[in-house]
Structure formats: structure tokens, C-alpha cells
Amino acid sequence: MAESKYVVFSIGSELFGLEIGFTERILTAQKETRIPRSPAAMLGLFDLRGRTIPVFDLALRLDYGQPSKGGNDVVVADAECPYALRVDQVVGIVTLTEENQEDADEQFTRRDDPFVSGIGKWDEKLILLLNPEALLPSKLRAKAEKLAQAA
């Protein structure tokens, strides 16, 4: 039986998971440099050991209306452009077996924005499993790449 490990974090009472292989680092919320006229979900940039990392508010990205409380930044290991997700709190590392995971189907995702890859079940709670390759829409990804290269 295959197992996968996920970094689990919260926005309000909702839980989200990112496969641990896509997680580079977990930080307390960093002080970001705001970028004028950037999309609302893009909070700005911060320096991480000489690398410029764009940071996005996950609550705003997911259209939750209110920004996250900003407890942690989860740095996502993306080959083209590492980025950080601002979340309320990192809950911990959770191991999910195949039995307590479901693939996302059309009722959970939109074709033009497939950021949910599945649903995990953990201690009678549901975890939305995120697809890091689709989490940033193409416009946000392009802007993040340009800003990271310019900095």
C-alpha cells in the first residue's frame, strides 16, 4: 500500500495539503516588499538566502474573500520559479495512504483552474490536496517569474 506525506496547513477552519516533495521550506510569515499594481493575491517579494521569492496569499488566491492571518509562509519548490504561500498556520506533516485519498473529479475542480488534485481524509477531517503546478494561474506565474528575474 503506497503512502504519501503532505505538509498540511490551514486557512480558517479549512485544511490544505501539499505533497512534501514540493515543499522546500516552512517559515514564519516573512516581511515582504510590496509591488505596486500587482494582483491582490500577490503580496510581494522577500529574500531567502539570496533568492527572491514571490509570496501569494492562499486565501485570496482561492477567493475566500478575507486574507489569511499570515502565520506561515510555505515555500513551494518550483523548478522555474519557487514561490511562497501565505497561510494561517502549518498544522504538520500527515501521511496518507491510497485508501484515504480520492482523486479530484469535475465536481471539485474547474478545467481552467485545476489547483485541487485530490481529497485526503485524516482524523475525520477532509484535506484539499493542492496541485503545485496549477496553483498559480498562468498570469500570476508569469508575473512572479518576471519579478524574481528582475530582482
Locate the domains of the chain by residue range: 3-150
CB 5, CB 19: distance < 8 Å:
yes
Question: Given this model, what pLDDT does residue 86 score?
Answer: 97
Report pTM. 0.86
Other residues' Cβ atoms within 10 Å of the Cβ of residue 109: 17
Question: Tell me: the pLDDT tens digits for 126-141?
Answer: 999 998 888 887 777 7
Low-confidence residues of the chain: pLDDT under 50: none
Question: Tell me: the pLDDT tens digits for 25-45?
Answer: 999 999 999 988 888 889 999
Lateral strand order in the sheet of 3-11? 89-97, 3-11, 14-19, 125-130, 116-122, 101-103
CATH topology of domain 3-150: OB fold (Dihydrolipoamide Acetyltransferase, E2P) (2.40.50)
Beta strand spans in the chain (E): 3-11, 14-19, 23-28, 42-48, 51-57, 72-76, 83-87, 89-97, 101-103, 116-122, 125-130
